[in-house]
Chain A
């Protein structure tokens, strides 16, 4: 304890022997820490937004469908609606919302143009809680029931088809007998999405209407289930999988949308790489500062060794100086980063590069997301790597020959 106190006192006072050098180094660490945390929060925010948007489009957190549906998403691969044990699991407290859908590839035709789309039959009341459509209606109204014969279309598709609200379009698909199934729909609602591909790709109508069109009775293509947190779906997935039984495929969102799933894993790796790269730039300054500090104190270190301080204590003293520098710099850097991020949580308008962001699947407003785990990781990485970076000058100092060090001119 005594050794620790004297090491701490010597390290602290030595730190302030050269105020200017110490302050410059602290400023560098502050900037490094700030950039690590701020940039990480922007990246996290972007990925969170992409995942939240992706999940809200359709997948939910967990999905059930026919084992062949992902390879061949046609009406041939349907499942029975939830019942029995599965229905109980879907109504359990871990499930925030769930909805069934009939989902098939189709062709939509206006009097001007024809486009390929995904036709989705939904239960409006359930869908309202799970996906984006109900909340993104810009014109007209959302569907009222699963028997609603109206059609919800994206703004961009409406423009491409040169049609509009209240106009009729024809939708054509295949039924289970591989016969053409088509019928006219009136556009009752137009939705706008942050991502244009959704506006162009999906059209919605009542689930019962689509089942009737395709002649599948009460069969459905999928059940989408929403839990409380997309980062923590393992328990939900396990319970649904157990309740669903054989004959169906149950998948979490990150396996349904592997691009989004890999984004999350990639993001964790990217954050670590980013922090390490920033630290590497910092470490040159840190090691240089320590080398200079040691070089200036060769005789003093020799004196302490001569008086009986052990090499290990000398090493601890130099490493402590480095750690103190890092702690001060990180503390100020953390405060600066949090103070910068908090006012920006309402969103940063990046519409100037909006098209590029949309191509990546992100929206044109960035919402910085500050996670405690990122702050802890950034600080921990810097402290641990800083500790190792300071070992070299500290080791050299601890190995001085006391007499040569004392008599060094």
Chain B
């Protein structure tokens, strides 16, 4: 079963009078349980592709299918519901809601989904331990380090067990040690929960963990390597 299928995706941006190609006839298939890195230099199209897969951006043409359902033609409300129930997001920065504690941030998606409070509390307690933030649940983002905040964001992304996690430069603001810890956490979650991970990055440290690396340049897929991870 394919988790993600992109067919002939095209997207063009306008920056003033200049036309910028975001995606240029991209074809991509990602299987369930995959661990894929989208690699490209800045402006290469990796974030555009990630946003399109996540229903945050709509392509000019082409099709996007998630778990057998076409999503590029869905309305705002349907896309919001799809993101809420099927996808976990980890952004490069500004991942958390400042007025909520770590636990409340983790429970946010579940709360919007309507998960009962006892269930939410049990799952957030488990996931806090899993991401190494036991005892920090009552802290607000401002009281946590960048690495801890990113862990909370990861915990929020996976706590409701989405089929797909999309992460955009998740290690960009982290030191090497924290970045490594985060990637190990991704791998562990991928292996234990069977969650499909698609990570947009140009960080070589991140790519080491991927079983598949898709290289992009000027909005095109130029290389697609599958490899064994030790």
Across the interface, do B80 and A17 meet the contact criterion of CB distance under 8 Å?
no
Across the interface, do B98 and A300 meet the contact criterion of CB distance under 8 Å?
yes
Contact of A307 among B99, B104, B112, B115 (CB under 8 A): B112
Across the interface, do A2 and B112 meet the contact criterion of CB distance under 8 Å?
yes
CB B122 to nearest CB in A, in angstroms, measures 16
Q: Complex formed: what's the CA distance from A299 to B113 in Å?
A: 21
Per-residue CB contact flags for chain A residues 304-328 toward chain B (1 = under 8 Å, else 0) read 1111111111000000000000000
Residue numbers in B under 8 Å from A303 (CB-CB):
91, 94-97
Segment at the interface with B among A3-11, A179-187, A218-226: A3-11
Given A10-B97, A10-B99, A303-B97, are A308 and B111 neighbors across the interface (CB < 8 Å)? no
B-side interface residues, number (CB < 8 Å): 31
A-B pairs with beta carbons under 8 A, tally:
71
A-side interface residues, number (CB < 8 Å): 25
Residue numbers in A under 8 Å from B111 (CB-CB):
2, 5-6
Given A306-B89, A307-B112, are A403 and B57 neighbors across the interface (CB < 8 Å)? yes
Residue numbers in A under 8 Å from B77 (CB-CB):
310-312
Q: Does B210 contact A (CB under 8 A)?
A: no
Across the interface, do A17 and B99 meet the contact criterion of CB distance under 8 Å?
yes
Closest to A313 in B: B112
Across the interface, do A309 and B112 meet the contact criterion of CB distance under 8 Å?
yes
Residue numbers in A under 8 Å from B156 (CB-CB):
307
Given A300-B97, A303-B97, A403-B57, are A311 and B76 neighbors across the interface (CB < 8 Å)? yes
Residue numbers in B under 8 Å from A361 (CB-CB):
none
Contact of A308 among B51, B84, B96, B97 (CB under 8 A): B84
Given A17-B99, A307-B84, A406-B94, are A6 and B108 neighbors across the interface (CB < 8 Å)? yes
Closest to A1 in B: B114
CB A296 to nearest CB in B, in angstroms, measures 10
Residue numbers in B under 8 Å from A14 (CB-CB):
99
Residue numbers in B under 8 Å from A309 (CB-CB):
80, 84, 112
Closest to A310 in B: B80
Given A2-B111, A299-B94, are A308 and B83 neighbors across the interface (CB < 8 Å)? yes
CB B10 to nearest CB in A, in angstroms, measures 18
Q: State the A residues within 8 Å of B (CB).
A: 2-3, 5-6, 9-10, 13-14, 17, 299-300, 303-313, 402-403, 406
Q: State the B residues within 8 Å of A (CB).
A: 51, 54, 56-57, 76-77, 80-85, 87, 89, 91, 94-100, 104, 108-109, 111-115, 156
Other than the known A300-B98, A311-B77, A313-B112, what 10 A-B pairs have Cβ atoms closer than 8 Å?
Answer: A2-B115, A3-B114, A10-B97, A10-B100, A14-B99, A300-B97, A307-B83, A307-B109, A310-B80, A310-B81
A-B contact pairs, 5 of them (CB 8 A): A2-B112, A10-B97, A305-B80, A307-B156, A308-B113
